Amino acid sequence: MGTKEIVSTIIAEFPYALYGSIIVGALCAFLGVYIVVRRVVFLGAVLTQISVLGLAITFLPFITVSHTVGSLAVTIIAVIILSRLLTGKKIPRDAMLGFIFAFAIAARILILQKTPKVEVAEIENLLRGDILFVTPELFYLMLGVFIAAMIVHGLFFKEFTYIAFDAETARTQGFNTGRWETLFYVIAAVVIAVATHIVGDIFVFGFLVIPPIAAMQLVKPVKAIFLVAFLIGALTPMLGLLLAFKFDFPASPAIIAVVAVALMLAWARNTLRHK
């Protein structure tokens, strides 16, 4: 199959996979700038695992809520608890996140072992996110989350960036930094929960980290960093899906490989420019 035919096939047969991965990529990349700047990259990894745990919980026989609702609820509750736990000084932040990360993975495995509903392999596929079989319902939910998150971030861009840069001074000016932080993390939790259901944990975590770093290598103005990260997040899934079809690769790893190459190119360009 030629490239043109593959593109036509993807658009015709898997439109939700294509558009879903584009909006997830763009949104995760945009939010990822904050995650990288706040130096809470590990929190991104923890939240993806918690959302996967939330999905796993919905497979327990006595749980009747939908997968998405379960994942959302568990992730939002976790992020609210985390925002309190991480400000404590008794246990280092990294150690706390490491504990939750390990706990979330272990709990998911234990839950799956006791799940009679369907085969574990099928559940694992769902938990990892199967891009090609995104349902219209999930896609439109993600689209709604995308629009809402971008509106909130567009309206409060200066507040979010100020608090990420210097929360202490913002607090002295009367900004309720605790509430702004909670709003940011709840939005991140919702995005991560829904996105993980659609594209899987590796895709989500990869896009929270890689495009922002690539954007920081390519441009200097702060607004441009957000814009370039957003564009890398939006464009690389298309190329990844194309390569996945052409060479018969699984979609998520192919997309991550493409965005990783984008980062390496950005790095190389930056290094050569400063030589």
Partner 1 sequence: MTPLIEFQHVTLGYGRKIVLPDINFTIHAGDYFGMVGPNGAGKTTLLRAILGTLKPLSGKVNIREPLRFGYVPQRDTIDDILPYTVQEVVMMGRYRQIGIFHRPQKMDREVVMESLRHVDVADLQNRAFKDLSGGQKQRVLIARALASKPAVLILDEPTNGMDFSSKISILELIHRLHAEDRLTVIMVSHFLDDVANYVKRIAIVERDFFQVGELNEILNEKNLSSLYQMPITVTQVNGKKVILAGERRGN
Query: Least Å distance between CB 37 and partner 1?
Result: 5
Query: Which token pair is 267?
Result: 């790095």
Q: Which is nearer to partner 1, 120 or 151 (CB)?
A: 151
Which residue ranges make up the site for partner 1 (CB under 8 A)? Answer: 33, 36-39, 155-156, 158-159, 161-162, 164-166, 168-175, 216, 220-222, 225
CA 210 to centroid of chain Cα atoms: 11
Query: Least Å distance between CB 166 and partner 1?
Result: 5
Distance CA 15, CA 47 (A): 27
Query: Least Å distance between CB 175 and partner 1?
Result: 7
Q: Which is nearer to partner 1, 103 or 162 (CB)?
A: 162
Q: Which is nearer to partner 1, 227 or 243 (CB)?
A: 227
- One-letter amino acid for residue 218 of the chain: L
Query: Least Å distance between CB 228 and partner 1?
Result: 13
Distance CA 116, CA 118 (A): 6
Query: Least Å distance between CB 145 and partner 1?
Result: 22
Residue 168 burial (CB count, 10 A): 8
